[in-house]
């Protein structure tokens, strides 16, 4: 796997540079963290190259023993730009770590191939209000999931996101943007396969339907896409607020979490279907270095099944986190997360509460940063337990 990754990195870089030379295009590098831009002389093609990595150290204590691990959490290549016209943009993102690839061993679904592709999508700006997306990319789900893993306030996303996010899928999406005075409304709709990314064959059950509405009552945040960056690194000069609500229905899903988790089978190895309906709501507030994010998610299954290989993830979760950024670019943050099953017998979720304190040092915003957090995880079940976790992560994106 390591040799493959190295080959892919070298091949990607050589291909881009060779393309730039062959097409007689200009090369532009704006600043560290902004990628390398290639634009053809006739301006019919733009390619932006990004690479980022996260080095993670984790130490955990289960009440009896300590365990630790050091790993490459993420190593990713991203290409984006436009083709023929700035109205037609594209995004390609590749995950190079074993964790990102998550080799599929599900019979008839991924041909036991590595899941290298995270995103591969085209986006066409039809008019000033609507943009049409096609391909594999993130669904318009909860805010914490849509925020890039490069722009998180803590070392990683919360347990609510882990248990309830609808992740990536293959399909089409329609994204809108409307203004009324200062207020901004952003409706989003998606129709997708419902089985997640890098599925090579078979579409069991039905399709997945997603609708989301973002509402910014005080207007746009200062800075690019700051309503989808959790810390207030731009130190908003006036209070800014973003509300979001998502409805998702994955008809006759065969995976525990719809787009994620193990495929659910019966004792004979046949896929088991269950329609999953999910509601998510979130709010983000920022002002002069202070930020608050709150998210709620709830998933229900049409059936409560027994004698299956794995249970579907049904239940609810709440995540609340807040942080304050000092002028020295040190940020202190705290997070409370709670997840619970709707029925412990039929749900794949264990009731857990997490309390986390985080400290981050932004050397060059999110492009170069050091983050650490310390968490207490309470598992509330027949055999309750309390675990402690320390994480330290260094991230760089070019």
Q: Give per-residue pLDDT as tens, 158-174.
A: 999 999 999 999 999 99
∠ CA 197-246-357, nearest 5°, is 85
pLDDT at 113: 66
Q: Contact 149/52 with Cβ under 8 angstroms?
A: no
Residues whose CB falls within 8 Å of the CB of residue 317, separated by 6 or more in sequence, listed in order: 159, 160, 163, 164, 295, 296, 297, 298, 337, 338, 339, 340
Mean pLDDT of the chain: 90
Strands (E), 254-384: 274-287, 290-301, 315-325, 330-341, 351-364, 368-380
* Structure letter (DSSP) for residue 262: P
pLDDT at 282: 98
* Structure letter (DSSP) for residue 350: P
pLDDT at 110: 52
Q: Which residues of the chain have pLDDT under 70?
A: 1-30, 102-113, 202, 382
Asked: is 2-397 a CATH 2.40.160.10 domain? The reply is: yes
Question: With b meaning 16 or more CB within 10 Å and e meaning fewer, what string describes 164-203?
Answer: bbbbbbbbebbbbeeeeeeebebbbebebbbbbbbbeeee
* Residue 157 DSSP SS3: coil
**CA 156/CA 354 separation, integer angstroms:** 13
pTM: 0.90
pLDDT at 23: 46
At residue 159, φ and ψ (nearest 5 deg) are -70, -30
pLDDT digits (tens, 9 = 90+) for 213-222: 999 999 999 9
Q: Contact 300/276 with Cβ under 8 angstroms?
A: yes
Query: Which tokens is 267 given?
Result: 């004792």
pLDDT at 285: 98
Residues whose CB falls within 8 Å of the CB of residue 86, separated by 6 or more in sequence, listed in order: 46, 125
């Amino acid at each position: 796997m390591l040799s493959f990754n190295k080959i892919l990195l070298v091949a990607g870089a050589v291909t881009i540079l060779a393309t730039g030379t062959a097409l007689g295009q200009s090369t532009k590098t704006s600043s560290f963290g902004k990628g390398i831009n290639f634009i053809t002389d006739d301006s019919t093609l733009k390619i932006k190259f990004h690479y980022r990595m996260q080095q993670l150290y984790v130490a955990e204590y289960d009440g009896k023993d300590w365990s630790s691990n050091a790993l490459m959490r993420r190593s990713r290549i991203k290409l984006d730009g436009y083709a023929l016209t700035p109205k037609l943009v594209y995004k390609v993102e590749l995950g190079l770590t074993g964790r990102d690839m998550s080799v599929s061993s599900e019979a008839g679904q991924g041909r036991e191939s590595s899941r290298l592709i995270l995103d591969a999508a085209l986006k066409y700006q039809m008019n000033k209000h609507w943009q049409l997306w096609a391909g594999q990319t993130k669904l318009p789900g909860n805010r914490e999931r849509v925020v890039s893993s490069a722009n998180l306030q803590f070392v990683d996303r919360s347990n609510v996101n882990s248990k309830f996010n609808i992740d990536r899928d293959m399909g089409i999406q329609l994204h809108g943007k409307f203004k009324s005075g200062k207020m901004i409304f952003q409706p989003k709709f998606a129709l997708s396969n419902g089985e997640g990314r890098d599925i090579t064959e078979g579409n069991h059950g039905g399709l997945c339907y997603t609708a989301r509405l973002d509402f910014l009552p005080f207007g746009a945040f200062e800075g690019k896409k700051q309503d989808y960056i959790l810390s207030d690194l731009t130190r908003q000069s006036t209070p800014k607020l973003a509300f979001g609500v998502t409805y998702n229905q994955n008809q006759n899903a065969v995976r525990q979490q719809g787009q994620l988790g193990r495929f659910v089978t019966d004792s004979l190895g046949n896929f088991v279907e269950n329609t999953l309906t999910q509601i998510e709501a979130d709010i983000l507030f920022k002002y002069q270095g202070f930020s608050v994010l709150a998210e709620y998610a709830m998933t229900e299954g049409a059936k409560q099944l027994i004698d299956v290989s794995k249970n579907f993830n049904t239940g609810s979760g709440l995540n609340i986190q807040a942080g304050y950024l000092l002028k020295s670019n040190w940020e202190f943050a705290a997070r409370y997360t709670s997840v619970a099953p709707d029925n412990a017998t039929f749900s794949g979720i264990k009731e857990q509460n997490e309390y986390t304190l985080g400290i981050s040092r932004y050397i060059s915003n999110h492009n170069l940063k050091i983050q650490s957090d310390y968490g207490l995880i309470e598992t509330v079940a027949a055999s309750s337990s309390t675990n402690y976790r320390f994480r330290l992560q260094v991230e760089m994106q070019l």
